[in-house]
Structure 1
Amino acid sequence: MLKEFREFAMRGNVLELAIAVVLGAAFGKIVTALVTNIITPLVGIILGGINFSGLALTVGNAEVTYGIFIQAIIDFIIVAFAIFLFVKLINRFKRKEEAKEEAAAPVVDPQTELLTEIRDLLKKERV
């Protein structure tokens, strides 16, 4: 069972996923710091000096901090947009690679293809 687990864990996809999770967590921290320290204060200034992190509603003994929720929404939008741009960039590179592969693929003349098929059939008949 340990050997099977090791084979599973050492597959390329699992390692790539683990790396992506670690990088995603680090990227999330960067985005959170960007939103908390730069974007949210600027948006607050634009909206008349509102401090989102301080926005709260008190209901009885409970405090509903909806400002933190607004900040989380801004975080999500920035992360989603960054991922969108990254995927778009990756797709552009893939399309260029596919175009190069198609251009590099030799064009086989139909007559040559037919002669190759005939040759292969003759080889089969001899055997």
Structure 2
Amino acid sequence: MTWDRFALLYARVEADLAKALQRGHGLGLSEYRALVQLAGASGGELRMQELAEAVGLNQSSVTRLVARLEEAGMTRRDLCSADRRGVYSVITDEGRARLAEATPTYERSLAAALEQADDDPALSRLVLAVRG
């Protein structure tokens, strides 16, 4: 079934990316993805719910994720001036620097993981589709 092969490809690539980011930069894959989303957002900030949706996490998981990023100095929280209940996560200069350091590792690891998966006949068509 194609979906099962896709799930296998996804799991392999995610594992390789997670290992490379943790080993090389002390970042988890979700942390890296959160920094990517924040760096690309207007003003470098997203509401917590927007960030959760952007990285595919639930509210409690993104709260823990943001706490780790804040503790490391890569993000800070800011209250919405129009709605005091709204909380933003804002990328810091340190967060941008860590993202810039980690992105080449992410890209190299992604290319290597896809190359390795391409050698598996059960996955090669999916790899071709992913590379688009």
TM-score by length of 2: 0.26
Which one has the largest radius of gyration? 1
Higher relative contact order (Cα pairs below 8 Å, separated by 6+ residues): 2
TM-score by length of 1: 0.26
* Bigger proportion of residues as helix: 1
